[in-house]
């Protein structure tokens, strides 16, 4: 299964027979080889999805029938939950408890969109018109073939975030996972097959971005593109989609700020700061990687934060008690280490971490790292690193904190911590970000919208907004009595 593509309800060998290696981040060892799709395979997958949408049963089923299939997929995931989580650890490197939560969230995502799919059966919004000779209603219909491109940081969960709402809406899909972490997407294909999803409704193609992702983005048979990943790739996908005026949604990078005021609970601030930057090794688009601390609490908070950071247990994600696993790949390891070295050169003060742990000579491990007194012009402060690296600055008052937080080309998320509820509300509204957390960082719920401002993307995922991504809105207006034009045609004189 792992060395094949899933197209039109069948496991197929890539046209060219090419393969890609998949490596365990904790050891660097080759663990699998997967098919490397090319443009010919993308053509086949899109054709299968196109045929399934234009001629097949999936978009014509009731929402209730589609919901039953989504719930069947969720049920199979529950049966295979531990195996899916262990595969995620092997594929991505994250600690097992985190992988287990990811799989639980993916199951919940399918259940949630099953409920929303049922709601589509009764949705027909009547519109009040000024002319009572006409009757108007609005219906929502599936958009068509959806090209879904997902990243490597949450392989199985990101697949669920896109596939579940797309299928719930009645779309057919071509899913392209990251070449670094393709195994969860292939498992999802096997789950869809076992659940009886009609052929062509979900197709999974593994391969490189330039060989599989680019042909999918520019394919004329695709109606909708949904991408999660980096800004440069998102820009290229948007340009490709523009050729055919495709509907495009993008969830891109972030450099999110966490503002801690001096009336905050120190212990809570330390705990949420750690969670906000070191969860998933900092490989999180919404990671609160810029910490702004008010002067009155700065010294005490930083002292405790550094002490807690040094006590984080690093190692293979399969081992009990591990809190920080390896980075996903050799390439990501090099990128993060280069960012750390550049931060030193640009004047930031390294407070802790910044190197490979002595006891882990294999794999792609980086100590959790904190820089203080980070210059605002430093790349540490302005650029997404996507690793366990925190940049810290102090601030004087609320106005300065908001200004520093908003001074970014990104606007995915932000967090504010204070004992003053009114200040939290005020700052939350002032922050230019699509997600704002108050007295916490990173909680994510399927029911709430996810997406950002500025270069952090276009559109929203999750909640009802996630379903809307894959639906077209149609006006149907009926003539109910003779119009003035009808009378004139009968009585031209």
**pLDDT tens-digit profile of 447-481?**
999 999 999 999 999 999 999 999 999 999 999 87
CATH architecture of the domain with range 257-438: 3-Layer(aba) Sandwich (3.40)
Question: pTM of this prediction?
Answer: 0.95
Domain boundaries, the chain: 5-253+456-477, 257-438
Q: Are 5 and 182 in contact (CB under 8 A)?
A: no
Band of residue 124 on the pLDDT scale cut at 50, 70, 90: confident
Mean pLDDT, range 114-128, rounded to an integer: 89
Mean pLDDT, range 395-422, rounded to an integer: 98
461 flagged as catalytic: no
Mean pLDDT, range 427-453, rounded to an integer: 98
Q: Which of 118, 187, 211, 251 is catalytic?
A: 251
CATH architecture of the domain with range 5-253+456-477: 3-Layer(aba) Sandwich (3.40)
High-pLDDT (> 90) share of the chain, %: 94
- Average the pLDDT over each of 101-110, 240-249, 266-275, 473-482 and give the range with the smallest value: 473-482
Looking at residue 493, what is its pLDDT? 52
Looking at residue 67, what is its pLDDT? 98
Residue 492 has pLDDT above 90, yes or no: no
Mean pLDDT, range 299-309, rounded to an integer: 98
Identify which has the larger pLDDT, 481 or 101.
Answer: 101
Residue 17 has pLDDT above 70, yes or no: yes
* Eight-class DSSP state of 279: G
Residue 489 has pLDDT above 60, yes or no: no
Band of residue 482 on the pLDDT scale cut at 50, 70, 90: low
Mean pLDDT, range 303-331, rounded to an integer: 97
Q: Are 127 and 480 in contact (CB under 8 A)?
A: no
Identify which has the larger pLDDT, 124 or 283.
Answer: 283
Q: Measured between alpha carbons, how far is 18 from 123 in angstroms, rounded to an integer? A: 46
Residue 487 has pLDDT above 80, yes or no: no
Contacts 24+ apart (CB under 8 A), 297-304: 297/260, 297/261, 297/262, 297/264, 297/266, 297/269, 298/394, 300/266, 301/260, 301/266, 301/269, 301/270, 302/351, 302/370, 302/372, 302/392, 304/266, 304/267, 304/270
Looking at residue 481, what is its pLDDT? 77
Residue 15 has pLDDT above 70, yes or no: yes
Looking at residue 490, what is its pLDDT? 60
Q: How many CA atoms are closer than 13 Å to the CA of 268, on its beta-carbon side? A: 15
Looking at residue 122, what is its pLDDT? 81
Band of residue 190 on the pLDDT scale cut at 50, 70, 90: very high
Residue that is written with structure tokens 């070191």 in the block: 278
Residue 483 has pLDDT above 70, yes or no: no
- In this structure, the chain runs to a length of 493
Q: Give per-residue pLDDT as tens, 62-89.
A: 999 999 999 999 999 999 999 999 999 9
Residue 123 has pLDDT above 80, yes or no: no
The pLDDT mean for the chain works out to 96
Band of residue 2 on the pLDDT scale cut at 50, 70, 90: confident
Residue 457, H or E segment: strand 457-458
Residue 485 has pLDDT above 70, yes or no: no
Sorted by sequence, the CB contacts under 8 Å of residue 460 that are 6+ apart come out as 249, 434, 449, 450, 451, 466, 469
């Amino acid at each position: 299964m792992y060395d094949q593509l899933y197209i039109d309800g069948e496991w197929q060998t890539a046209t060219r027979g090419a393969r890609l290696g998949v490596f365990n981040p904790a050891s660097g060892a080759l663990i699998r080889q997967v098919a490397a799709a090319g443009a010919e395979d993308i053509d086949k997958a899109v054709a299968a999805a196109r045929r399934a949408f234009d001629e097949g049963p999936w978009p014509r089923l009731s929402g209730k029938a589609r919901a039953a299939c989504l719930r069947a997929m969720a049920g199979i995931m529950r049966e295979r939950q531990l195996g899916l989580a262990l595969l995620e650890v092997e594929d991505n490197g994250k600690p097992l408890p985190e992988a287990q939560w990811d799989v639980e969230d993916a199951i919940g995502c399918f259940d949630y969109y099953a409920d929303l799919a049922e709601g589509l059966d009764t949705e027909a919004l009547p519109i009040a018109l000024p002319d009572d000779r006409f009757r108007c209603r609005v219906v929502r219909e599936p958009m068509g073939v959806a090209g879904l491109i997902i990243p490597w940081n949450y392989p199985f969960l990101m697949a669920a975030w896109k596939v579940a709402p797309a299928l719930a809406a009645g779309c057919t899909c071509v899913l392209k996972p990251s070449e670094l972490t393709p195994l969860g997407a292939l498992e999802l294909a096997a789950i869809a097959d076992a659940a009886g999803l009609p052929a062509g409704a979900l197709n999974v193609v593994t391969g490189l971005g330039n060989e599989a992702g680019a042909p999918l983005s520019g394919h004329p048979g695709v109606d909708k593109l949904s991408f999660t990943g980096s800004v440069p790739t998102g820009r290229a996908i948007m340009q490709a989609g523009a050729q055919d005026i495709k509907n495009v949604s993008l969830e891109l990078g972030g450099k999110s700020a966490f503002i801690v005021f001096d009336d905050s609970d120190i212990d809570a601030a330390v705990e949420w700061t750690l969670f906000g930057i070191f969860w998933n090794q900092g490989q999180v688009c919404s990671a609160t990687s810029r910490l702004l601390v008010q002067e009155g609490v700065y010294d005490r908070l930083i002292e405790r934060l550094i002490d807690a950071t040094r006590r984080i247990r690093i190692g293979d994600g399969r081992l009990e008690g591990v809190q920080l696993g390896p980075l996903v790949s050799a390439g990501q390891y090099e990128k993060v280490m280069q960012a750390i070295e550049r931060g030193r050169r640009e004047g930031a003060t390294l407070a802790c971490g910044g190197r490979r742990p002595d006891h882990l000579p294999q794999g792609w491990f980086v100590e959790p790292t904190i820089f203080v007194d980070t210059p605002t012009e430093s790349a540490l402060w302005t650029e997404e690193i996507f690793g366990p690296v925190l940049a810290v600055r102090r601030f004087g008052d609320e106005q300065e904190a908001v200004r520093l937080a908003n001074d970014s080309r990104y606007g995915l998320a932000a967090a504010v911590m204070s004992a003053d509820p009114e200040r939290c509300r005020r700052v939350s509204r002032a922050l230019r970000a699509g997600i704002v957390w108050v007295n916490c960082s990173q909680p994510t719920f399927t029911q709430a919208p996810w997406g950002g401002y500025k270069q952090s993307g276009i559109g929203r995922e999750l909640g009802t907004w996630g379903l809307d991504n894959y639906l077209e809105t149609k006006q149907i207006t009926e003539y109910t009595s003779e119009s003035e034009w009808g009378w004139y045609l009968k009585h031209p004189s």
